[in-house]
Amino acid sequence: MSELENAPHPRVSVVIPSYNNEQFIEAAVESVLRQTFRDFELIVSDHSSTDRTWELLQRFAADPRVRLGTVAPGGGAPANWTAVTERAGGEFVKLVCGDDLLYPTALAEQVAAFDAHPEAVLVACQRDVIDADGAPVVRSRGLQGLSGVVPGDQAIRRTVSAGTNVFGEPMCILVRREVLLATGGWDDRVPYLLDQATFVRVLRRGPMVAVRRCLAAFRISAEQWSVDLVRQQGRHAREFHASVQRDHPGLLHRWDRPLGDIRATAMALGRRGVYLWLRWRRKDAGPAAPADTIAAGAKAADDRPAFDRLVE
């Protein structure tokens, strides 16, 4: 990664691992800079994009809150997520992929939750799911009924038995940086569940706070799905559930893992239906944007989670 200027550490570090996000990167950065909470830094790490992402980022270089850097090709999402997170100096860290959005009060509300519950290790919120044009597909999704302070082990059992990431994608999460690093950083043992696996490790150290308010937007596109990915998601979910049971003996209840395996497969099929509908809708509306820009994060080699949690 290129050298970034040293700066006093603010309370929150927002980190963006960008990769071929030219269509959305400016909106993502602007959504961070519009936060009502002001004590934050924004660190963007571009993974050697082949489109105009790095060029577009230069318009933000003069902002004292922003630091820009690059990462050499290779290593997929874990390499860039790790590199940009290691540059963070804040008490809390939020990772936002290069095509997602934060709503203006996201940081303020999540920091307030930490202040009210200093024992918590992460704070999660709900999010809207939007399409490539920014139109809502699903509103206020996430958390699977969780609310307020939730013991870490309870939250882990819920995400396994539900067969989905109940915590939400990274932009939904504000995590204590020292706990994230102490538990090994981003867990890439199950690449397609990089975020979910990481949050499980963090939650072994303490409770979460579930804020039942929509504070972010997760972008999807019709090009992000295939029949092959349905099969891969089911397999990776089962591997993840098995790893939780293996790494944390006695944590899961008897039926948590079997139920989670069944539900993960069913929800993968349900998500595929949503993507087919999106593809039909975009076809009906006119030509879609190039897949290499609106779906740059859909594969394991790119810089966002490969699977999107639409059915919960």
pLDDT attached to residue 239: 92
CA-to-CA distance for 104 and 110, rounded, in angstroms?
12
Statement: residue 137 has pLDDT above 60: yes
Comparing 23-32, 70-79, 225-234, 298-307, the range with the smallest average pLDDT is 298-307
Structure tokens at 115: 């202040």
Please report which confidence band the pLDDT of residue 233 belongs to, taking 50, 70 and 90 as the band edges. Answer: confident
Please report which confidence band the pLDDT of residue 54 belongs to, taking 50, 70 and 90 as the band edges. Answer: very high
pLDDT attached to residue 303: 61
Comparing 100-109, 141-150, 212-221, 226-235, the range with the smallest average pLDDT is 226-235
Please report which confidence band the pLDDT of residue 310 belongs to, taking 50, 70 and 90 as the band edges. Answer: very low
Region of 237 (left: φ > 0; alpha: ψ -120 to 50; beta: rest) is alpha
pLDDT attached to residue 285: 60
Statement: residue 122 has pLDDT above 50: yes
pLDDT attached to residue 290: 37
What average pLDDT score do residues 126-130 get?
A: 95
Please report which confidence band the pLDDT of residue 274 belongs to, taking 50, 70 and 90 as the band edges. Answer: low
Statement: residue 33 has pLDDT above 80: yes
pLDDT attached to residue 235: 84
pLDDT attached to residue 8: 65
pTM: 0.86
Going by their DSSP bridges, the two strands 122-130 and 173-176 should be labelled as: antiparallel
Instruction: Write the DSSP string, 212-263.
Output: EEEEEEEE--GGG--HHHHHHHHHHHHHHHHHHHHHSTT-S-TTHHHHHHHH
Of 5-14, 36-45, 72-81, 218-227, highest mean pLDDT = 36-45
Pair 271, 222: CB distance under 8 Å = no
Q: What percent of the chain has pLDDT over 90?
A: 70
The 10s digit of each residue's pLDDT in 158-204 is 999 999 999 999 999 999 999 999 999 999 888 789 999 999 999 99
Pair 137, 129: CB distance under 8 Å = yes
Q: What percent of the chain has pLDDT over 70?
A: 79
- Burial, 259: exposed, middle or buried (Cβ in 10 Å; 0-12, 13-18, 19+)? middle
With CA atoms as reference, report the closest residue to 4 among 32, 50, 42, 47.
42
Q: Is 211 helix (H, G, I), strand (E, B) or coil?
A: strand
SS3 content of the chain, % helix, strand, coil (to 5): 40, 20, 40
Statement: residue 58 has pLDDT above 90: yes
